[in-house]
Amino acid sequence: MSADRPYLDDGTQIEARVTDLLSRLTLKEKFRLLASHGRHRIYVTAPIKRLGIPSFKTTDGPLGVAMHSSGFKKNTRFPATVSLAASWNRELTHQVGVAMGKEVRAVGRHVLLAPGINIARTPLNGRTFEYFSEDPYLTKELAIPLVKGVQEQRIAACLKHYAANNQETDRRSSDSIVDERTLHEIYLRAFRAVVLEADPWSVMSCYNKVNGVYGSENKYLLRETLMDKWGFNGLVMTDWFASRPIETTEGCINAGLGLEMPWAMRYKTKALEQAFNEGHFTEETLDDLVRRNLRVMMLTGLFDRPEKLPEGSRNTTEHQVLARRAAEEGMVLLKNDRNLLPLDIENLKRISVHGKHMRLKFGRLLKGGSSAVKPPHEITPLEGLEKKVRGKVKLFPGDTFADVAIVFVGLDHSKGGDSESSDRNSIHLDEEQVSLIKKVAEDHLRTVVCVIAGSPIAMDEWIEDVEAVLMCWYGGMEAGHAIANVLFGDVNPSGKLPLTFPKNLSDSPAHSTGNPRNFPGDEEKKVFYDEGIFVGYRWFDEKNIEPLFPFGFGKSYTSFEFGEVHLSKSNLRKSEDTLSIEVGVTNTGDLEGAEVVQVYAHDFQSSVERPPRELVGFEKVNLRPGESRSVSVLVKAEDLAFYDVTKHDWTVEPGDFKFLIGNSSRDIHLDADFSFG
């Protein structure tokens, strides 16, 4: 059969197969391939029987294979993206990517609608939990291995939501007004890097407008930047219904939009025919879009024999253990007075446990938007603790007099929490939870607070009352075991905050003016990004604002000392150059543990304003008690660049720089000078 139809031959090169199939398509069939057709097919495209083109199938989302888009199947629920980011572990996100790719394959889908790589501009964004960080460097460093992992299974990753989709309020109609430098340096940077280094096969356009133009018809963002400048070869699909408010069909076609989801609105066959016949777009442009779609179909093995494809698997013990390990590595110990943690199981008789979060499960159908993965089981914190202490310590839910009290508080995926389609109203816990913490702390000598949430939480009103705080995020299906393992010291926490935790909302960049033009938008729903490049810690450093907890912060049950620093060279000449920074690190405590060596760059002199420091490298190292190691952190000259609006490109200016080396953006232990040019 494949002799007369080379596109079916899985031994032939993909580009040749694409060219062959494209040449066989009628104009109408080309149009059919640009959208999903049929209201029952909201995650998949319609097959074209004449040519044996099967339905091309997508599934949400960032936490694994979501129930609503996988034929109502239960699948492994991985920790939230923000929790993966808090691990600062590239190898781990790669493993999670591989596992997610296998699960997608096992449910017979071809595209995973993840990762979400938007930047945390405001701590109120309801989808912060689905994204990595406020920092584009950390985002790209962790998204690159994740995308590679997914695609090694021949499943397309889909970078979303492109671009400047940084809030949920009015998400389908707001207009992000961002200057060119900020757009590239903060909001596009991770997209660009992932495109250049991981070659993602698909990108999802955003709902919102960017500088007056909707993402799905934004020629500057799609055709000129993503495709022409960065060389993106894959397909761009809309976010679901994102094309609805757009007026013209040709606007989307000429911008580079290749797939309209979840069904045809601008890309109805009739509308396409009319626009084409009236000469609003050329066949060449059409062919380019169709070619992209066919290419991704080929890459994901749509036309290949099953035995030629990687094997899928889901809900395996391996994936569940990985989900647990990832949850453990993401946990961030924020406070630990008098070394209350880890709890000593041998020396405790009674523990009292409090708060509704000890019994909450998060994996439910449609709960959490694109992250609604329902797992076959989900271990709550209470179940995790019960299993851990069984036969040794008595657990009393709500009991007052115990050796130690643990309070579980946080957010959930309901409106006003960590949720798609709405933002939070406040960065504080609700009054009921604050009173609970205070009451428990009053009744006990020692209190631990476990925070289960996906975004920054203000803690000033209660943190002084308690001894320990553990940021647990949303840890996926094994969260309860992971939390118990950290509380009892089977696992030494090594997570670091990927987000600044502000004391007050008004301390953060999008909220400093309190003017709706900055958030959530003026009467015309325009959101002005007036803070420019000063997002996240860049803002707190520039304005000298003391955060509750800085970006990169996280404690351990052991202690580390930074020794000497050596650079492999003190001068970088070209933007392709790299250097390595060798940093001596010693575990000076009594427990094995991991530390993240973080390298920030400071530019002494620049023709443009620059943040006081920017993350340019990091490495996580595990050390036994007393062990010393020289940790090598690779820095690329291109990561020292800023976006130069006079050249419309990235540039590194010759001059002197300093590396600031530490274990948070505010705990700098070493520095080293170097120059560029």
How far are the Cα atoms of 252, 437, 448, 676 from residue 464, in angstroms, in the given order?
54, 11, 12, 45
Percentage helix, strand, coil for the chain under 3-state DSSP, each rounded to 5: 30, 20, 45
For residue 113, the minimal CB distance to ligand BGC (Å) is 4
Element (H, E) at 618: strand 614-623
Q: State the number of CA atoms in the 13 A half-sphere of 674 facing the CB.
A: 26
For residue 160, the minimal CB distance to ligand BGC (Å) is 5
Name the residue nearer to ligand BGC (CB basis): 421 or 605. Answer: 421
Bridge partners of 48? 53
- The correct pick among 217, 239, 260, 603 for binding ligand BGC (CB under 6 A) is 239
In angstroms, the CA 506 to CA 516 distance is 12
Name the residue nearer to ligand BGC (CB basis): 172 or 268. Answer: 172
For residue 201, the minimal CB distance to ligand BGC (Å) is 15
For residue 60, the minimal CB distance to ligand BGC (Å) is 5
Segments of 457-570 assigned E as strands: 468-471, 526-528, 560-567
Q: State the number of CA atoms in the 13 A half-sphere of 260 facing the CB.
A: 29
Q: What is the DSSP letter of 458?
A: B
Name the residue nearer to ligand BGC (CB basis): 267 or 303. Answer: 267
Each residue 4-43 as x (binds ligand BGC by CB under 6 A) or -, in order, gives: ----------------------------------------
Name the residue nearer to ligand BGC (CB basis): 118 or 122. Answer: 118
- For ligand BGC, the binding residues in 359-378 under the rule CB under 6 A are 370
Whether 590 is catalytic is: no
| Interface size with ligand BGC, residues (CB under 6 A) | 7
- Residue 160 binds ligand BGC (CB under 6 A): yes
For residue 54, the minimal CB distance to ligand BGC (Å) is 21
Bridge partners of 58? 111
- The correct pick among 35, 99, 106, 113 for binding ligand BGC (CB under 6 A) is 113
Length of the chain: 677
Segments of 110-198 assigned E as strands: 111-112, 156-162, 175-177
Token pair, residue 373, equals 């993965």
In angstroms, the CA 118 to CA 135 distance is 10
- The correct pick among 7, 35, 46, 61 for binding ligand BGC (CB under 6 A) is 61
- Classify residue 432 as exposed, middle or buried by CB count within 10 Å of its CB (0-12, 13-18, 19+): exposed
Q: Which of 60, 239, 603, 639 is catalytic?
A: 239
Name the residue nearer to ligand BGC (CB basis): 241 or 650. Answer: 241
- Residue 216 binds ligand BGC (CB under 6 A): no
CA neighbor of 513 nearest in space, from 538, 539, 537: 539
Q: Where are the alpha helices (DSSP H) in 33-167?
A: 81-86, 90-106, 136-151
In angstroms, the CA 107 to CA 313 distance is 9
Contact 643, 661 (CB under 8 A): no
For residue 114, the minimal CB distance to ligand BGC (Å) is 8
For residue 129, the minimal CB distance to ligand BGC (Å) is 12
For residue 168, the minimal CB distance to ligand BGC (Å) is 9
Name the residue nearer to ligand BGC (CB basis): 234 or 384. Answer: 234
- The correct pick among 25, 60, 167, 383 for binding ligand BGC (CB under 6 A) is 60
Q: Where are the alpha helices (DSSP H) in 183-232?
A: 189-198
- Residue 162 binds ligand BGC (CB under 6 A): no
Name the residue nearer to ligand BGC (CB basis): 362 or 501. Answer: 362
Name the residue nearer to ligand BGC (CB basis): 141 or 168. Answer: 168
How far are the Cα atoms of 42, 87, 216, 248, 275 from residue 278, in angstroms, in the given order?
30, 54, 21, 13, 5
Token pair, residue 651, equals 């540039």
Active site residues: 239
Q: Which residues bind ligand BGC (CB under 6 A)?
A: 60-61, 113, 160, 239-240, 370
